[in-house]
């Protein structure tokens, strides 16, 4: 399915006032500022994205086309890749120590790989759908399932140890997709929206919304699907964002939006 891009953050999506840089309850309004543009494989149905030791690790989806990849973030070159066999539809990706954990959409299994060799070394069962996944670098994994709920999981056993319900101004934020942990917060793509939300993991409250607009040229938009994929570089404080079948990986910062 190729969904239309939405270049606005409107009142029917994230319940924001267009006349202020602050939404109700002090929620900050941000926008994407592009630092660099890098090539990205336009055949990649990007589902999970993370940066580690200067390399991009990417989970791509679709049954029969899913994969796990190591990518050079500047050139876009795929340096290492293993296919994910049918019937799996790969989704979010997280790094835990020297292991990569890749969740699947409806197959209710998390696949575990060795970071260096990409050899599959195990799997974890879970209930429900898997969409996005991130690790706080300590003792918690956070997993989305397309609703407003983010499940908290033990990174050693993948067992459920809690959950948060994501809200903005008291209203649920549904369709949470790819997740990224950065400086104590969870950043989440909203499926079919050109928007990212910044979430307080302690409360589930959205503390900032990020408008994503005018990144791809009209020519680059041909054949693309939705915005999806967030990676964070703690050294530069920059984010890397892309989408399903996008030909470009954007290095960006999040800055205050104009009223």
Average pLDDT over residues 19-33: 71
Does residue 229 lie within any of the structural domains? yes
**The whole model's pTM is what?**
0.90
Residue 235 lies in a domain: yes
Q: How far is CA 13 from CA 8, 187, 230, in A?
A: 9, 17, 20
DSSP 19-85: T-SEEGGGEEEEEEEEEEEEE--TT--EEEEEEETTEEEEEE-STTT-EEEEE-TTT--EEEEEE--
Chain position carrying tokens 């989440």: 188
Whether 36 is covered by a domain: the verdict is: yes
pLDDT tens digits, one per residue of 62-72: 999 999 999 99
Which residues have a Cβ under 8 Å from the Cβ of 218 and sit 6 or more positions away?
Answer: none
Rounded Cα–Cα distance for residues 39 and 156 (Å): 35
Q: Is the pLDDT of residue 15 over 70?
A: no
169 found inside a domain: yes
- pLDDT tens digits, one per residue of 103-148: 999 999 999 999 999 999 999 999 999 999 999 999 999 999 999 9
What domain range is 70 assigned to?
Answer: 11-256
Answer whether residue 230 is part of any domain.
yes
Q: Within a domain: residue 1?
A: no
Split into its structural domains, the chain has a count of 1
Report the CATH number that the domain containing residue 103 is assigned in CATH: 2.120.10.30
CA angle in degrees (0–180, nearest 5) for 77-83-85: 160
Residue 98 covered by a domain: yes
**Helix, coil or strand: residue 216:** coil
pLDDT tens-digit readout, 78-106: 999 999 999 999 999 999 999 999 999 99
β-strand pairing of 90-96 with 78-83: unpaired
Residue 259's pLDDT band (boundaries 50, 70, 90)? low
C-alpha span between 227 and 213 (Å, rounded): 10
Q: Is residue 131 part of a domain?
A: yes
Contact criterion met (CB below 8 Å) for 109 and 102: no
Helix (H) or strand (E) holding 152: strand 149-153
Task: Give the residue carrying structure tokens 């292991």.
Answer: 99
């Amino acid at each position: 399915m190729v969904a239309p891009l939405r270049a606005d953050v409107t009142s029917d999506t994230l319940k924001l006032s267009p006349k202020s840089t602050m939404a109700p309850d002090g929620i900050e309004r941000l926008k994407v500022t592009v630092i660099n543009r890098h090539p990205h494989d336009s055949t990649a149905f990007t589902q999970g994205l993370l940066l580690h030791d200067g390399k991009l690790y990417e989970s791509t989806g679709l049954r029969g086309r899913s994969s796990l990849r190591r990518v050079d973030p500047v050139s876009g070159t795929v340096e290492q890749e293993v296919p994910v066999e049918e019937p799996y539809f790969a989704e979010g990706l997280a790094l835990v120590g020297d292991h990569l954990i890749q969740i699947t959409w409806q197959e209710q299994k998390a696949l575990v790989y060795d970071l260096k060799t990409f050899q599959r070394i195990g799997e974890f069962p879970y209930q429900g759908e898997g969409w996005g996944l991130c690790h706080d670098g300590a003792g918690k994994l956070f997993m989305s399932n397309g609703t407003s709920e983010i499940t908290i999981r033990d990174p050693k056993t993948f067992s459920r140890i809690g959950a948060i319900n994501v809200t903005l101004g008291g209203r649920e934020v549904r369709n949470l997709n790819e997740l990224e942990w950065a400086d104590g917060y969870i950043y989440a793509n909203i499926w079919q929206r050109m928007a990212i939300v910044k979430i307080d993991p302690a409360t589930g409250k959205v503390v900032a919304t990020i408008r994503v607009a005018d990144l791809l040229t009209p020519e680059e938009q041909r054949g693309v699907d939705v915005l999806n994929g967030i990676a964070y570089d703690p050294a530069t404080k920059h984010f890397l964002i892309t989408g399903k079948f996008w030909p470009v990986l954007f290095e960006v910062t999040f800055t205050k939006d104009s009223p």
